Amino acid sequence: MPRSRSLLSPGVDRFLAAVGDGSEFVVRFFGSFWRPPWHVREVIRQCFEVGVRSLPLISLTGFITGIVFTKQSRPSLAAFGATSWLPSLITLALVRSLAPLVTALVCTGRVGSSIGAELGSMKVTEQIEAMEVSAINPFKYLVVTRTLATTLMVPVLTIYCCFVGLTGSFLNVAGNEAQSLQAFVKSGFAQISFLDLWSSVAKSFIFGFTIGIIACYQGFHASKGTEGVGRAANASVVLAMFAVFIEEVLIVQVIHWLRSV
Partner 1 sequence: MSDREPVIRVRGLARSFGENRVLAGVDLEVGPAENVVVLGRSGSGKSVLIKIIVGLLAPDAGVVEVFGQDVHRLRPRELDAIRVRIGFSFQSSALYDSMNVRENLEFPLRMNRRGLTEGAVRDAVNEALDAVGLAGAIDQMPSELSGGQRKRVGIARTLILNPEIMLYDEPTAGLDPNTCGEINELILRVREKYHTSSIIITHDLTCAKVTGDRVAILLDGVLFRIGTFESVFADPDPRIRSFYDYNFVTKATS
Binding-site ranges for partner 1 (CB under 8 A): 1, 3, 37, 118, 121-122, 125-127, 129-130, 132-137, 141
User: CB-wise, 141 or 189, nearer to partner 1?
Assistant: 141
Give the residue from 164, 167, 169, 168 showing the smallest Cα distance to 83.
Answer: 169
Distances (CA, A) of 119 to 51, 52, 73, 210, 253: 19, 19, 43, 16, 35
User: CB-wise, 41 or 256, nearer to partner 1?
Assistant: 41
Closest CB 4 distance from partner 1, rounded Å: 9
Closest CB 149 distance from partner 1, rounded Å: 15
Closest CB 218 distance from partner 1, rounded Å: 18
Closest CB 141 distance from partner 1, rounded Å: 8
User: CB-wise, 121 or 218, nearer to partner 1?
Assistant: 121
CA atoms within a 13 Å half-sphere pointing along the CA-CB vector of 152: 15
Closest CB 3 distance from partner 1, rounded Å: 8
| Apex 233 CA angle, 231 and 239, nearest 5 | 90
**Cβ atoms of residues 146 and 210 within 8 Å:** no
User: CB-wise, 96 or 110, nearer to partner 1?
Assistant: 110
User: CB-wise, 33 or 141, nearer to partner 1?
Assistant: 141
User: CB-wise, 33 or 163, nearer to partner 1?
Assistant: 33
Closest CB 122 distance from partner 1, rounded Å: 8
Taking the C-alpha atoms of residue 94 and residue 71, their distance in angstroms, rounded to an integer, is 14
Give the residue from 211, 88, 82, 104 showing the smallest Cα distance to 149.
Answer: 211
